[in-house]
């Protein structure tokens, strides 16, 4: 009987302890983080996930979330039967991190350091509008899209609402091979569309176009005839060359071929003159050395490398207009695809997590020119409560926005795009103008320690939209002054 009672008590203690632990995990929320402008922060995207089946999710940035079956537990630690709502949001730009209110500083060996992020995300979940937790026996893999390919970023999790980032580990980034393949392919197509094509003798083009009708050929004028074909975008010479060139087993005179110039560009001097003969020397299967020789001096004046493209007879099957329209149509499609591919990440950073929260791929910013100062902030209007003021430092080079401790020290470094700005009561914006920042004597300050530096802020008005902050951080200061 005693053993039974002990067993029941032990089970009860374990259950109570287990619930306490679970509840602690669940209530380890980020609710105390306060965005500087409520409602402007990145919103969660929600995904319905069958807990019994798991899911593979791809976000609109290309990030991937791999969820194994039975990854979620309710607040009592029991496996959930049904669909859970997974909430996920990402931060890739400095403005997104700033508007989130998430601290981008880190206490390292008692010193405050600034984070440079390669991507940050927050993950949460609910079931029947109740908070849930990740099954500690499961791992959710997040392949976070990132545009920074350096391999010295580390993985951190935020604990609480201050600089309490916990180091979780590190992984090498995986390059986005699809983006590279598509980009390389687009570049090849663009290159082919922008090739330098040459017809050695425009009269050969006339022969084909007029089907060797001597009467019509004799009556043409060079400039007006070439203008008829300008939509091809070719260069036309007037040089005789009777070398025989094989194209798939058929021999053609060199002047009856469209050539791709893969060497030096021809100058107008050679395109408009009739004073040159030419020499063609075969180098490989379809590659030839091409030389222009002054008919009077008999000297070589130009040399380049040509590649066989197609017989002129095939070219004529495309009207100049059709050739141009098809080329422009292809270029338009390329531009659309390039714009789309630009949105894809350069790489992915993968890590397994087994709890909800805010995670960040970071490295500490290091600048040999950085100095620590004691900032003194002055504002145009007298402020009765400085605690209601939030001052931020945008590091510029590393695209990181950090909140400044009023009354503490500040680390600054030379940068063309660095700036200080403040959010005043009533969402009023004040800035320390960039031209003033550029006049800071960093050379002198590097030999001092915690010297006071005065920053006189200028009020620029109320922040009523996200675009105001975007313009500020994108060096469009004049647009808001």
pLDDT per residue, tens digit, the chain (481 aa), is 334 333 323 333 333 333 333 333 333 444 457 888 888 999 999 999 999 999 999 999 999 999 999 999 999 999 999 999 999 999 998 889 889 999 888 877 777 788 889 999 999 999 999 999 999 999 999 999 999 999 999 999 998 756 689 999 999 999 988 888 888 877 777 776 778 899 998 888 888 888 888 888 888 887 888 888 888 888 888 888 889 998 888 889 999 999 999 999 888 888 878 888 999 999 998 999 999 999 899 999 999 999 998 898 888 877 888 877 877 787 787 788 878 787 788 999 999 999 999 999 998 877 778 889 999 999 988 777 777 899 999 887 656 788 888 888 899 989 888 889 999 988 899 999 888 999 999 989 988 888 999 999 999 888 888 888 888 777 666 656 5
pLDDT score, position 13: 32
CB atoms within 10 A of CB 12: 10
pLDDT score, position 136: 94
Distance CA 396, CA 409 (A): 19
pLDDT score, position 304: 95
CA dihedral sign of residues 106, 109, 111, 114: negative
pLDDT score, position 477: 60
Q: What is residue 434's three-state secondary structure?
A: helix
Tokens 């026996």 — which residue? 137
pLDDT score, position 381: 81
pTM exceeding the 0.75 threshold for the entire prediction: no
- Do the Cβ atoms of 121 and 358 come closer than 8 Å? yes
Q: Tokens in use for 470? A: 């975007």
pLDDT score, position 45: 96
CA-CA distances (angstroms) from residue 301 to 254, 277, 283?
Answer: 20, 10, 20
Strand-pair partners of 87? 46, 124
Distance CA 423, CA 307 (A): 63
Q: Tokens in use for 44? A: 């969660």
- Do the Cβ atoms of 219 and 258 come closer than 8 Å? no
Cα dihedral angle (256, 262, 267, 268), rounded to 10 degrees?
A: 40
Distance CA 234, CA 143 (A): 48
- Do the Cβ atoms of 422 and 392 come closer than 8 Å? yes
DSSP 201: B
pLDDT score, position 399: 62
pLDDT score, position 228: 82
């Amino acid at each position: 009987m005693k053993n039974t009672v002990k067993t029941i008590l032990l089970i009860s203690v374990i259950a109570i302890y287990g619930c306490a632990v679970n509840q602690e995990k669940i209530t380890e929320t980020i609710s105390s983080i306060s965005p500087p402008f409520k409602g402007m922060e990145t919103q969660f995207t929600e995904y319905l996930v069958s807990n019994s089946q798991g899911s593979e999710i791809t976000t609109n940035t290309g990030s991937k979330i791999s969820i194994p079956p039975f990854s979620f537990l309710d607040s009592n630690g029991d496996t959930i039967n049904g669909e859970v709502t997974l909430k996920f949001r990402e931060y890739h730009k400095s403005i997104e991190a700033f508007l989130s209110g998430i601290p981008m500083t880190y206490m390292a060996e008692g010193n405050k350091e600034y984070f440079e992020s390669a991507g940050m995300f927050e993950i949460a979940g609910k079931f029947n509008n109740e908070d849930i937790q990740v099954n500690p026996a499961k791992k959710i893999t997040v392949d976070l899209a990132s545009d920074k390919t350096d391999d010295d970023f580390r993985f951190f999790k935020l604990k609480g609402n201050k600089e309490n980032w916990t180091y979780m580990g590190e992984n090498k980034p995986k390059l986005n091979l699809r983006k590279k393949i598509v980009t390389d392919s687009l570049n090849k197509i663009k290159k082919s569309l922008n090739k330098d094509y040459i017809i050695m003798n425009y009269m050969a083009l006339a022969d084909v176009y007029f089907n060797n009708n001597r009467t019509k050929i004799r009556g043409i004028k060079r400039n007006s005839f070439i203008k008829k074909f300008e939509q091809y975008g070719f260069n036309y010479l007037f040089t005789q060359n009777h070398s025989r060139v094989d194209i798939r087993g058929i021999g053609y005179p060199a002047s009856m071929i469209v050539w791709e110039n893969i060497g030096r560009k021809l100058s107008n001097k050679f395109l408009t003159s009739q004073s040159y003969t030419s020499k063609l020397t075969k180098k490989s299967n379809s590659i030839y050395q091409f030389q222009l020789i002054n008919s009077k001096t008999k000297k070589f004046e130009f040399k380049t490398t040509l590649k066989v493209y197609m017989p002129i007879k095939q070219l004529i099957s495309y009207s100049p207009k059709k050739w141009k329209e098809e080329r422009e149509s292809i270029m338009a499609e390329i531009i659309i695809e390039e714009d789309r591919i630009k949105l894809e990440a350069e790489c992915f950073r993968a890590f397994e997590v087994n709890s909800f929260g805010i995670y960040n791929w970071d490295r500490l910013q290091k600048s040999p020119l950085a100095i620590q100062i004691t900032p003194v902030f002055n504002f145009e209007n007298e402020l009765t409560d400085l605690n209601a003021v939030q001052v931020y430092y945008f590091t510029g080079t590393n695209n990181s926005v950090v909140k400044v401790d009023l009354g503490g020290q500040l680390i600054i470094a030379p940068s063309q795009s660095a700036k200080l700005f403040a959010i005043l009561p009533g969402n009023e914006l004040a800035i320390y103008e960039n031209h003033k920042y550029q006049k800071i004597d960093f050379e002198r300050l590097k030999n001092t320690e915690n010297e006071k530096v005065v920053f006189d802020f200028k009020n620029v008005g109320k922040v009523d939209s996200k675009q105001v902050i975007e313009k500020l951080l994108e060096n469009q200061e004049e647009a808001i002054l």
